[in-house]
Structure 1
Amino acid sequence: MSQISSSTRDIISELDTTFKSIKSDEVDQLIKEISKADQVFFVGVGRVLLSLKSIAKRLAHLGVKTYVVGQITEPAITEKDLLIIGSGSGETAFPLIIAQKAKKYNATVAHIGANPESSMSEYSDLFVRIPVQTKLQLPGEVESVQPMTSLFEQSLLLLGDAVALTIVRDRDVDMKALWQYHANLE
């Protein structure tokens, strides 16, 4: 077996183990909050932010009004909106500050992370645990051979795609009709 085949097999195996460990009721609650929100905001840093931007884009293709915190056209958040925070540790400073601020405006806050006992829990209305290996070495973490927090970022991206597909199926969306939301200035 080639090195790349071995690496690919390891990554897919880790993702499979991770997704078998994510609680469907937590994801169902997230989908419910996305569906009822007027606007959905996203915040994270680093590679987590890249995954969140992909999720925001895919949900926008489904007609959801999405914004990444800090983008130039970001509107005000209100009590009718949802803030989705991606933070494995739940201790990252910038997302914590934004969560605290969102609660001041009575927005619903959802945290997708690996650490259920984090500082973020003080501001979160719901938590979706991706139980992967962190620097904290918490019980029940899925171990990874990958560098740093790659498994979290990959799982976050795929979770976003699974959420989008679930919404498509729940709403019985015509897949061809989704192209109306795709960027056309390309």
Structure 2
Amino acid sequence: MDYYQTESAIIKELENTMGSIAADDVLALVEHIQRAEKVFFVGVGRVLLSLEAIAKRLAHLGIKTYIVGQITEPAITNNDLLIVGSGSGESMFPLGIAKKARSFGAAVAHIGSNPSSPMREYTDTFVRIPVQTKLDRPDEVHSIQPMTSLFEQALLLLGDTIALMMVREKNIDMHNLWQFHANLE
């Protein structure tokens, strides 16, 4: 058991994965985020944890973000965006929420690994993180890590990449972002 060999293998997987995401799809997602009055996030399990971190980072940029189900969640409208994190695109809860968001006219973005999932019926934009799935497609990045760790890690990095892209595009002074950081800590 070697720490450096193991972390190096994980970093290489992440580099291959992040380099396989279509830049145009990411730009489309950024445009949806920037147009939205509010941005909602839905996912389950460890994917939800990554989405919560993304929501927090975007809130630091002054974007109104909400996690579906949080007690202070407002109503979604046709001026808003729902971002669904689901590798398979088949998880019942996110799928049901995407359908419901569409019924209110909200835009829906799906970040996942399965481009032919049932989620595509409800989405306006799709960002594929092409990691290993149970479908075992030839264009998937295979992983030595357990379960869907690579998807959750890449999702988190994608969120931070999007945030930095927005900071650079808007020429935001990083020091001024501290005004949005939690201060009751």
| TM-score computed with the length of structure 2 as normaliser | 0.99
Take 2:76 and 2:175, find their aligned partners in 1: how far apart are those partners?
31
Deviation at 1:138, TM superposition (A): 2.0
In the alignment, structure 1 residue 103 sits paired with structure 2 residue 102: yes
Take 1:66 and 1:40, find their aligned partners in 2: how far apart are those partners?
5
Q: What residue number does 1:33 align with?
A: 32
The one-letter amino acid of 2:177's match is L
Q: What residue number does 1:143 align with?
A: 142
Mark the runs of 5 or more structure 2 residues left unpaired by the alignment.
none
Write out aligned runs for 1:60-79 (5 A): 60-79=59-78
Take 1:139 and 1:96, find their aligned partners in 2: how far apart are those partners?
25
Take 2:164 and 2:87, find their aligned partners in 1: how far apart are those partners?
23
Write out aligned runs for 1:3-152 (5 A): 3-152=2-151
Three-state SS of the structure 2 residue aligned to 1:21 is coil
The one-letter amino acid of 2:132's match is Q
* Offset from partner CA, 1:9-61 (integer Å, 9 cap, x none): 00000001011110000000000000010000000000000000000000000
Deviation at 1:81, TM superposition (A): 0.1
Deviation at 1:160, TM superposition (A): 0.1
* Offset from partner CA, 1:56-110 (integer Å, 9 cap, x none): 0000000000000000000000000000000000000000000000000000000
Q: Percent identity?
A: 65
Take 1:138 and 1:103, find their aligned partners in 2: how far apart are those partners?
29
Q: How many pairs align?
A: 185
Three-state SS of the structure 1 residue aligned to 2:126 is strand
Detail structure 1 runs of 4+ shifted over 2 Å in the superposition: none
| TM-score computed with the length of structure 1 as normaliser | 0.98
Deviation at 1:136, TM superposition (A): 1.8
Name the Cα RMSD after superposition. Answer: 0.6
* Offset from partner CA, 1:97-129 (integer Å, 9 cap, x none): 000000000000000000000000000110000
Mark the runs of 5 or more structure 1 residues left unpaired by the alignment.
none
